[in-house]
Amino acid sequence: MKSTLKKLLPFAVVGVISGATTVGAIQYLGHTSNNGDQSFFTTSAPTATFAGMNTGAVGDDFVKAAKTTVPAVVTIKNYQSRTSSRASEQDLFDFFFGDPFGGRGQGQQRQKQQAPDNMPSGMGSGVIISPDGYIISNNHVVAGANKLEVVLSNKKSYIATLVGTDPNTDISLLKIEEKGLPYLNFANSDNIDVGQWVLAVGNPLGLNSTVTAGIVSAKGRGIGILGSQGKAANPIESFIQTDAAINPGNSGGALVNTNGELIGINSAIQSTTGYYQGYGFAVPANLARKIVEDIKKFGIVQRGFLGVQSLDLSNDQLVAAYNKQYKTNLKSGSGVYVTGFGDNSGAEDAGLKKGDIITKIDSYDITDFADLSMSIGSKRPGDKVQVTYSRNGKESTTSVTLRDQKGGTSTRTKADLSITEKIGAEFDPLNERFKTEYGLNSGVVAKNVSEGSEMAKIGIVDNYIIIEVNGKPVNSQKDVEKILDKYQGNVQVKFVDDYGRIYTKGFKMP
């Protein structure tokens, strides 16, 4: 009997490990790494292995992965000069980071307060992906910062440069000036399977270098958070879902396999309390890697678009609403139904029609919109994809050349951007009613202000009124473009907020 218990006990231990949160500070254990930076541009070989039910092997794999990962995961401290002017932005910030000053309460309106200059407004995590100091994190971890501090697991601190961000995938790229740093290799996230052991490593709730274990509980999850709570104009959500405990502060940290290879960037939790309730979500490594490579090489993300308006047939509620609105009789199922086309649509030019059901992109099965957004969102303008679709019950395949939102098929750099793209906002003329209400003789209304843009950094959000740029009155978008065309140096912007308060702030023209 005792012999039987001894054999069964290790299995119980494994069950406890996978189902509970493992919280602890893991010291820097003499980890060494290669000094080459090829890992930033190459995906490691698909050598991920499953942890078998041999408890000794599982324990060894967890320890090895933790030792490899912890030194490459950093704390990121976000310092801001002011609180957000939008409650939704601050609530999203707190949802992911936690509130360093306390005051979170269910069902209560928390009083907003400004962090002292020497205290961060929020803290998240990041992952070193090259020995020369490139760090990947989430967009929401760095949003609104006027200073970003990176703290390594050995407590060494650096001021980081923000290289670029992408709200559509919630990915950001930072850089610190250092060499010979420990870093993680990207794994091929397409090769992961539901049920695979994973570790989440980050700095949740102020607890540095915390490792939790679990499994991949689902793939290709779309939870609607980037579009509804973030500022993503064209969100890509195809998250890896895990039951490894992820809490506020884990954002931007590593999700790794048992070889210590990066398979995802932890980004979100689904919870009624704002804390771990069994579901965490990570951006797949393949998508994250493509985004940071674009930012590093081009300065901006190269996004290819299929050019279709669509309906997710796997969503019963959306299908029912569509049928009711358009008096149709579509049936729920697998695939994405084409409801129309955008301007300069590559899909329309390739022969797709309204009513077609997209079932596959290249060899990737399309069961829902998350699959479609992932398969296309990881491509660049000019890339060709094979689109398999069903029309009247007959399956066909056509080649589609992806385009950017302006219809282009080539990559662009920051130098190719328009003035409004460079500063991150568009502008509508201010109507006479507003001029009278605010006592103004000039002004334009900001719209489509991009997260992390120059305009956003100085506190401008949608519907703020821009009175002057570089001391000159503006009454149209053309006025703004004319003033800033070929301009280099500091830009001065005079604007009015929702309460009629007038500010003058500035930024360096990108």
Residues recorded for the chain: 510
**Backbone φ and ψ of 451, nearest 5°:** -60, 130
User: Are residues 165 and 452 in contact, defined by beta-carbon separation less than 8 angstroms?
Assistant: yes
Is 193 part of the annotated catalytic residue set? no
**Backbone φ and ψ of 228, nearest 5°:** -85, -35
Residue pointed to by tokens 């956003």 = 456
Three-state secondary structure call for residue 392? coil
Is 390 part of the annotated catalytic residue set? no
- Pairing type for strands 122-128 and 157-166 reads unpaired
Of 308, 313, 357, 356, the C-alpha closest to 333 is 313
Category of 471 on φ-ψ map: left (φ > 0), alpha (ψ -120 to 50) or beta: left
Is 140 part of the annotated catalytic residue set? yes
State the catalytic residue, choosing from 61, 170, 371, 479.
Answer: 170
Full DSSP string of 116-167:
PTTS-SEEEEEEE-STTSEEEE-HHHHTT-SEEEEE-TT--EEEEEEEEEET
Exposure pattern of 418-432 as b/e (b: 16+ CB <10 Å)?
ebbbbbbbbbebbee
Q: How many CA atoms lie within 13 A of 37 on its CB side?
A: 14
State the catalytic residue, choosing from 33, 94, 121, 140.
Answer: 140
Q: How far from 360 is each of 260, 335, 378, 396, 507, CA to CA, in Å?
A: 32, 8, 15, 10, 45
Residues 6+ apart with CB under 8 A from 151: 74, 75, 76, 77, 157, 158, 208
User: Residue 54, Cβ neighbours under 10 Å: how many?
Assistant: 12
Full DSSP string of 266-309:
EEEE--SSSS-SS-EEEEEHHHHHHHHHHHHHHSS----B--EE
Q: How many CA atoms lie within 13 A of 303 on its CB side?
A: 18
Residues 6+ apart with CB under 8 A from 80: 115, 121, 144, 145, 146
State the catalytic residue, choosing from 137, 217, 251, 314.
Answer: 251
User: Are residues 480 and 427 in contact, defined by beta-carbon separation less than 8 angstroms?
Assistant: yes
Q: What are the residue numbers of the active site? A: 140, 170, 251
